[in-house]
Structure 1
Amino acid sequence: MTDGPTDHPTPTGDVTERLGYRLKRAAAALRGAMDRALREHGLTVPQYACLELLDQQPGLSNAELARGTFVTRQSMNVVLRGLQEAGLITRAATTDHGRALPAHLTEDGHRRLAAARSAVYAIDQRMTDAVPPERIAALLADLDRMAEAHGG
C-alpha cells in the first residue's frame, strides 16, 4: 500500500467540481472585482481592508491589522507605509509601551474610505444577491465552519 495522492478516493475526477476549487473561483472573482473598483480610488484590497479596520477600531497595531486583513506583518508594514505616505493614516514615531505603533485614519483617510466603501459594498451586495435570501444564514455558517476546520 502506498501513500500517494491517488490512493484517496475523490467524489469526482473533475477538479472543477471540488468545493475548494469553487470556493477559490468565487474568491478570485471577488478579488478581481474589488481590485478594479478600488483602483479608481487609488487603493489596493489590503489598503482598503486596513482603512476599514482602522475606521472600526482606531489605534490597531501592525500585527493586529495584519491578522485582520489576512496578510503577513511584513506585508502590512508595506501597506501602512504606503497609506502613511499618501496621508491616509498617521502613526506615532514612538510608543509608551511595547513596540506596537498604533495607526489612525486622517481626515483624508476617512474621505477616501467613504468614497471607496460604496463601490466595495455594491460588489458585496451583487454577490449576496446571487444567493437566495433564505440560504444566506446557512451559507455564512457553512463558510465559518470551513474556515474553522482549517484553524481559521
Structure 2
Amino acid sequence: MSQSGIDLDRSLGYLLKEASSALRTAMEEVLRPLGMSVTHYSCLELLAQRPGLSNSELARGAFVTRQTMNVLLQALERDGYVTRPAEAPVGKVLPARLTPRGQQSLEQASAAVRAVEVRMLSGMTETERSAAFRILRSMIHSLRDGDGNDGA
C-alpha cells in the first residue's frame, strides 16, 4: 500500500484507466498509418451512425472539447472527409455529414480498430466477454445515473 492509502494493483479505477490508455495506444498505432488519430476516427464513426450531429454533440461523443472538435471538423471538411452547409439551416448549428471519401476512410479505420478489439478480447471466453460488457455498463450506469446511495 502506498502512502496515500491506495494500492494501485488493487484499484479498479486505476486498472480501468490503464486499460483505457493501453486501448488508446493500440488504436493510435493502427490508425496512424491511415493518417488518423483516435479523435478523427471517433468523429467519423459518430457521423456514420448519426449523420448531422452538431459540433457540440460530436465533441461530447468523442470526449474532447468543442474547440478541439471545431478544429478537427474544419480539417476534415478541408480534406474532403465531411461536409457542412455554408449557413446553418436552423440556429447556429452546422450539421456535419460524411462524404464518400470520409465513408471509405472510416471503413478502413473500422477494420483496424476491430482488429485491436479482437486482440484485446482474445484471452477471454464468450461468457467472460459478455460478463465484461455487462459489468462495465453497470459501472457506467452507477456513476452517471446513480446518486451515490446504494440503498444500504
How far apart, CA to CA, are the structure 2 residues paired with 1:102 and 1:71?
18
Partner of 1:45: 38
- Scaled by the length of structure 2, the TM-score of the pair is 0.86
Please report how far the alpha carbon of residue 30 of structure 1 lies from its aligned counterpart in structure 2 after TM superposition: 0.4
Partner of 2:127: 134
Partner of 2:21: 28
Partner of 2:48: 55
Please report how far the alpha carbon of residue 128 of structure 1 lies from its aligned counterpart in structure 2 after TM superposition: 2.1
User: Structure 2: which amino acid aligns with 1:15?
Assistant: L
Structure 1 consecutive aligned stretches of length 4 or more whose deviation exceeds 4 Å: none
Can you give the 5+ residue segments of structure 2 that lack an aligned partner in the other structure?
146-152
1:109 partnered with 2:105 = no
1:123 partnered with 2:144 = no
Please report how far the alpha carbon of residue 150 of structure 1 lies from its aligned counterpart in structure 2 after TM superposition: 2.5
Please report how far the alpha carbon of residue 97 of structure 1 lies from its aligned counterpart in structure 2 after TM superposition: 0.9
Percent identity between the aligned chains? 45
Please report how far the alpha carbon of residue 71 of structure 1 lies from its aligned counterpart in structure 2 after TM superposition: 1.4
User: Structure 1: which amino acid aligns with 2:98?
Assistant: L
Partner of 2:148: none
Q: Please state whether the residue corresponding to 1:102 is helix, strand or coil.
A: coil
Please report how far the alpha carbon of residue 51 of structure 1 lies from its aligned counterpart in structure 2 after TM superposition: 0.4
Superposition CA RMSD, Å: 1.8
Cα deviation, 1:19-61, whole Å, max 9, x if unaligned, reads 1111111111100011111111101101101101111111111
Partner of 1:85: 78
1:14 partnered with 2:7 = yes
Please report how far the alpha carbon of residue 117 of structure 1 lies from its aligned counterpart in structure 2 after TM superposition: 1.3
Partner of 1:64: 57
How far apart, CA to CA, are the structure 2 residues paired with 1:144 and 1:18?
18
User: Structure 2: which amino acid aligns with 1:43?
Assistant: M
User: Structure 2: which amino acid aligns with 1:20?
Assistant: G
Q: Please state whether the residue corresponding to 2:97 is helix, strand or coil.
A: strand
Can you give the 5+ residue segments of structure 1 that lack an aligned partner in the other structure?
none
